[in-house]
Amino acid sequence: MEFRRLGETKLAVSAITFGAWAAGGWMWGGNDDKEAIEAMRAAYDLGITSIDTAPIYGQGKSEELVGEAIKGLQRDKVQILTKFGMRWDFAKGDFFFKSQDNNGNDIDIYKYAGKESIILECENSLKRLDTDYIDLYQIHWPDSTTPIEETMEAILRLKEQGKIREAGVSNYDVKQMAIAEKVIKLASNQVPFSMVNRGIEDELIPYCIENKKAILAYSPMERGLLTGKLKPGQTFGEGDHRAGNKYFKEENIRRTNEFLAKIKPLADEKNATLGQLVIRWTINHPGITIALVGARNAEQAKQNAKAIDIHINGEEMEFINNQLSDLEIVG
C-alpha cells in the first residue's frame, strides 16, 4: 500500500481508503453488519488502514460498525476519518432533503455546523467509534446559517483538546476553504471526483495543489457505474439512492459502458479488473491524494486493495484521458 500525507500535516493515510457510507445501509437499500465488518478487516489486512465514515451514514450505524471493525487493532496503526454537520435529530440550519432511516421512518436532514452542535457531535462520534481521538474531522457540507469562522473555531478547540488530530472540509469550494484557513490550517477537502464527474479540475484542484491541501476523492467508481457491471435497464432496490441519479439513466449507462469497453484491453493487459484500473487512474490523477472506495464484503475489499499493485505510465494515462474526452454524460 502507498501512504500519502494530507497536505502539510503529519497525518498519512492509505492511498486507497475504505469508504464506509454503504456500511451504514442508509440510502443503499440496507446492509449486512457482519459482512461490512469483515470487509473493513479484510481491507486493513491488505494495507487499507484508513476508514472514512460519518454520523449520518445509517444515523450512527456506520460509525458503530467501524468501531467494531477496529477493535483489537493497534489504534495508532488505524486512521479514522469522520465528519460532522448533518443532523437528522433536530430542525436547525439549512434544510437539505427528506429521507427515511434504515427502519423506514421519515427523517429530515439538515446541514448545521454551529459550535455547540459540533462539540456534541464529536462526543457522540467518539463513543460510537469507541476511541478517544479522531484522526481527521471534516465538516460534511457547508452550512449557510453558521459563519465558517464559528465552525472552524469549534474545530480548533477540539484539536487543542486532543480530540481530533487534523481538520478537513468536505464539499467546500475555493472561497469557503480560504475563509476556513484564516481560523485553522486545513489538511484536506473531500469532494466527488470520478472519470465521469471531473468538475473540480477547473478551480479546486489548482487551488489545492498551490496551497498544499490534500484532495480526498469520493465516489471514484461513481457508485458502481465504472465497474462495467451495470447494464441499460438496471433496476435498483428500494431505498437505493442511485435509482434517481442522472449517471444511472439508461443512456448514460450505455455511453459509460462504451467508454469502458475501449479501456478494457488495457485492464486485461495488466491482469486487472476495470474497477482496479479506475481506482489506479484516480490516485494517479494530478492533485488527487487518495480515493475513497467502498466494499460490501471482504472479497470486494480485497479486489479494491489490489488496485495499488497496478502501474499506469504517462502514455497510458493519456490514452485513457483521450478516450474519456469522447464520453458525454447527458441529463
Which among 115, 63, 120, 112 has a CA at the least distance from the CA of 91? Answer: 112
Measured CA to CA, the distance from residue 214 to residue 129 in angstroms comes to: 24
What does each C-alpha distance from 299 to 10, 65, 158, 295, 296 come to in angstroms?
Answer: 31, 18, 37, 8, 8
Q: Beta-carbon neighbour count of residue 299 at 10 Å?
A: 13
Q: What is the pLDDT of residue 31?
A: 87
Check if the beta carbon of residue 110 is closer than 8 Å to that of residue 68. no
Q: What is the pLDDT of residue 287?
A: 98
* Alpha-helix residue ranges (DSSP H) falling in 230-306: 250-269, 274-284, 298-305
Q: What is the pLDDT of residue 240?
A: 82
Q: What is the pLDDT of residue 218?
A: 97
Q: What is the pLDDT of residue 190?
A: 98
Q: What is the pLDDT of residue 244?
A: 82
Q: What is the pLDDT of residue 195?
A: 97
Catalytic annotation present for 57: yes
pTM metric for this prediction: 0.96
C-alpha cell at 77: 496503526
Q: Which residues contact 185 (CB under 8 A, 6 or more apart)?
A: 7, 8, 9, 167
Measured CA to CA, the distance from residue 39 to residue 298 in angstroms comes to: 4
The pLDDT profile of the chain, 331 residues, written as one tens digit per residue, is: 999 999 999 999 999 999 999 999 898 888 899 999 999 999 999 999 999 999 999 999 999 999 999 999 999 999 999 999 999 999 999 999 999 999 999 999 999 999 999 999 999 999 999 999 999 999 999 999 999 999 999 999 999 999 999 999 999 999 999 999 999 999 999 999 999 999 999 999 999 999 999 999 999 999 999 999 999 888 888 778 788 889 999 999 999 999 999 999 999 999 999 999 999 999 999 999 999 999 999 999 999 999 999 999 999 999 999 999 999 999 8
- Quote the strand ranges of 47-103, DSSP E: 50-52, 79-84, 86-87, 94-100
| Annotated active-site residue in 44, 57, 110, 172 | 57
Domain residue limits, the chain: 3-225+275-311
Q: What is the pLDDT of residue 239?
A: 77
Which among 263, 193, 186, 270 has a CA at the least distance from the CA of 228? Answer: 263
What's domain 3-225+275-311's superfamily in CATH? NADP-dependent oxidoreductase domain (3.20.20.100)
**Bridging pattern class, strands 79-84 and 94-100:** unpaired
